[in-house]
């Protein structure tokens, strides 16, 4: 891949993007859905039901356990919070589960230095059957969210037609803008149209949405992670160029901390999502998460790579017969992130390669820092052979940066 071309594309798409100044790097935070779903049984399961109490608990954890300070600032509500509409047609939350209202929750979240995200659905109902935002309600609901000082809206697409979505998503973007309150806009629109042209116009999406779900919902299994990854890789020539500051592809939430992934698989999802410049929305119980999973999610070098200001989405650059794949994301200051990913199911594999094989052809000498172990590999020239040992369904991830230029040794 030509770095110059990638940079040019990034600049071109940036010029056309949704102009609300938000999410110039991919968002990080917590989203309720994957772990807590539509559990509304606060009688039997008060600690885990969708309620203001659950969100306040997660807000406390985000603020107190290092998450916020590492960049996980969004606390996002998903489906099943709505109680109905009042006499004037304004959305109201479920009175039993959100007795103090959403504005109160937003104030609480803001007092901790966090941001609040909310969920609605463009259509007759939300996916779980709560009142949706029909076309005639778009402006009213945008005003409600702004009045509550909500910071992000995820707008789902159940119970609507393609034509209604084609009108409704741009209409909501305009309505959010008209409130004057900055609200990041997450669109599920392309996922409902199959994620591909001609049904999906990614140029238009980048003008309307800050992030968008392209594909199926993630579920708590490695199989699900692979099916999402496979789809994004299969269509990377289409998807990679449309991401950039303010507008991101969203392969859905991180499963880390839940039940479906091994330690290696958790490290892999984190590394791959980071290289894809994907939003990092955890969806796990932050009250009980293990130190090992916290280390994966709070890895400072990982987050530095994720938040790289160029905002270039990476891609798979190599697929070996050995079932090792190499992913690369170009970063600022001539650095890059490399992920060596094993699809093997036997044993740790000794993968030998060189930067030349990965198309780094320059006179530079590089150094690599292993993102998970911290080990430094120095003196890498393009022809230097190196070996990385990659565990089954695991990764080795490198932060690679030039140290000196052989052609100008005096520098």
Ligand X SMILES: *[C@@H]1O[C@H](CO)[C@@H](O)[C@H](O)[C@H]1NC(C)=O
Out of 230, 295, 383, 405, the only residue in the binding site for ligand X (CB under 6 A) is 383
**Residue 408: CA count within 13 A, CB half-sphere:** 6
Out of 199, 359, 378, 387, the only residue in the binding site for ligand X (CB under 6 A) is 359
Which among 18, 21, 19, 112 is positioned nearest to 73, based on CA atoms? 112
Q: Within positions 96 to 125, which residues make up the interface with ligand X, using CB under 6 A?
A: 124
Catalytic residue among 79, 151, 156, 252: 156
Told to judge if 136 belongs to the known catalytic residues of this protein, a careful annotator would answer no
What are the distances in angstroms from CA 343 to CA 153, 313, 348? 36, 22, 11
**Interface stretch with ligand X, choices 149-157, 174-182, 290-298, 337-345 (CB under 6 A):** 174-182
Told to judge if 217 belongs to the known catalytic residues of this protein, a careful annotator would answer yes
**What is the rounded CA–CA span in Å between residue 263 and residue 261?**
7
Q: Return the number of the residue (40 or 318) whose C-beta is nearest ligand X.
A: 318
Distance in Å, CB of 219 to ligand X, minimum:
25
**What is the rounded CA–CA span in Å between residue 178 and residue 142?**
9
Out of 83, 101, 129, 182, the only residue in the binding site for ligand X (CB under 6 A) is 182
What pairs with residue 121 in β-bridges? 156
Q: Return the number of the residue (96 or 350) whose C-beta is nearest ligand X.
A: 350
Out of 5, 111, 161, 403, the only residue in the binding site for ligand X (CB under 6 A) is 161
Q: Return the number of the residue (109 or 328) whose C-beta is nearest ligand X.
A: 328
Is 162 a binder of ligand X (CB under 6 A)?
no
Is 51 a binder of ligand X (CB under 6 A)?
no
Is 193 a binder of ligand X (CB under 6 A)?
no
- Minimal CB distance residue for ligand X: 20
Out of 385, 403, 405, 406, the only residue in the binding site for ligand X (CB under 6 A) is 385
Is 19 a binder of ligand X (CB under 6 A)?
yes
Contact (Cβ atoms closer than 8 angstroms) between residue 185 and residue 146: no
Burial of 357 (0-12, 13-18, 19+ CB in 10 A): middle
Q: Return the number of the residue (22 or 42) whose C-beta is nearest ligand X.
A: 22
Burial of 305 (0-12, 13-18, 19+ CB in 10 A): buried
Q: Within positions 53 to 92, which residues make up the interface with ligand X, using CB under 6 A?
A: none
Catalytic residue among 217, 220, 285, 382: 217
Before 198, cis peptide (omega within 30)? yes
Neighbours of 9 (CB within 10 A): 16
Contact (Cβ atoms closer than 8 angstroms) between residue 314 and residue 275: yes
Out of 358, 367, 392, 402, the only residue in the binding site for ligand X (CB under 6 A) is 358
Q: Return the number of the residue (16 or 95) whose C-beta is nearest ligand X.
A: 16
**What is the rounded CA–CA span in Å between residue 254 and residue 56?**
21
Is 9 a binder of ligand X (CB under 6 A)?
no
Number of residues that bind ligand X (CB under 6 A): 20
Out of 317, 356, 365, 377, the only residue in the binding site for ligand X (CB under 6 A) is 317
Q: Any residues with CB less than 8 A from the CB of 88 and at least 6 apart, and which? A: none
Is 159 a binder of ligand X (CB under 6 A)?
yes
Q: Return the number of the residue (124 or 221) whose C-beta is nearest ligand X.
A: 124
Distance of CA 108 to the CA centre of its chain: 24
Q: Return the number of the residue (133 or 283) whose C-beta is nearest ligand X.
A: 133
Distance in Å, CB of 328 to ligand X, minimum:
8
Is 201 a binder of ligand X (CB under 6 A)?
yes
Distance in Å, CB of 5 to ligand X, minimum:
12
Q: Within positions 273 to 312, which residues make up the interface with ligand X, using CB under 6 A?
A: none
Q: Return the number of the residue (99 or 379) whose C-beta is nearest ligand X.
A: 379
Active site residues: 156, 217
Question: Where on the chain is the footprint of ligand X (CB under 6 A)?
Answer: 19-21, 124, 159-161, 177, 180, 182, 201, 203-204, 207, 317-318, 358-359, 383, 385
């Amino acid at each position: 891949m030509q770095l110059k071309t990638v940079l040019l594309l990034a600049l071109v798409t940036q010029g056309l993007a949704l102009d609300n100044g938000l999410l110039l790097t991919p968002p990080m935070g917590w989203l309720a859905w994957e772990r807590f779903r539509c559990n509304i049984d606060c009688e039997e399961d008060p600690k885990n039901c969708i309620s203001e109490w659950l969100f306040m608990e997660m807000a406390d954890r985000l603020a107190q356990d290092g998450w916020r300070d590492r960049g996980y600032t969004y606390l996002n509500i998903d489906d099943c919070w709505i109680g109905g509409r009042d006499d004037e047609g304004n959305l109201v939350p479920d009175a039993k589960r959100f007795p103090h209202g959403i504005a109160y929750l937003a104030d609480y979240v803001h007092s901790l230095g966090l941001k609040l995200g909310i969920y609605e659905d463009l259509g007759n109902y939300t996916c779980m059957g709560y009142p949706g935002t029909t076309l005639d309600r778009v402006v009213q609901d945008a005003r409600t969210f702004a009045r509550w000082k909500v910071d992000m809206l995820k707008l789902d697409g159940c119970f609507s037609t393609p034509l209604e979505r084609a009108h409704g998503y741009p209409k909501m973007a305009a309505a959010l803008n008209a409130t004057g309150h900055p609200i990041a806009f997450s669109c599920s629109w392309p996922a409902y149209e199959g994620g591909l042209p001609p049904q999906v116009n990614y140029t238009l999406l980048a003008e309307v949405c800050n992030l968008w779900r392209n594909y199926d919902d993630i579920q708590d299994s490695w199989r699900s992670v692979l099916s999402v990854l496979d789809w994004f890789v299969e269509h990377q020539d289409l998807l990679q160029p449309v991401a950039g500051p303010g507008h991101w592809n969203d392969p859905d939430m991180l499963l880390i901390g839940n039940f479906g992934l091994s330690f290696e698989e958790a490290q892999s999802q984190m590394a791959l999502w980071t290289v894809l410049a994907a939003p990092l929305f955890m969806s796990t119980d932050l009250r009980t998460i293990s130190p090992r999973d916290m280390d994966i999610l709070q890895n400072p070098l990982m987050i530095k790579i994720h938040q790289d200001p160029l905002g270039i989405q990476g891609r798979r650059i190599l697929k070996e017969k050995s079932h090792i794949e190499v992913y690369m994301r170009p970063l600022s200051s001539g650095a890059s992130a490399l992920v060596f990913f094993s699809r093997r199911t036997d044993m740790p594999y000794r993968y030998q390669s060189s930067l030349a094989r990965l198309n780094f052809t320059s006179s530079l000498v590089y150094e690599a820092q292993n993102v998970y172990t911290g080990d430094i590999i120095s003196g890498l020239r393009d022809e230097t052979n190196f070996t990385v040992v990659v565990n089954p369904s695991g990764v080795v991830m490198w932060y690679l940066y030039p140290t000196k230029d052989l052609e100008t040794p005096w520098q």
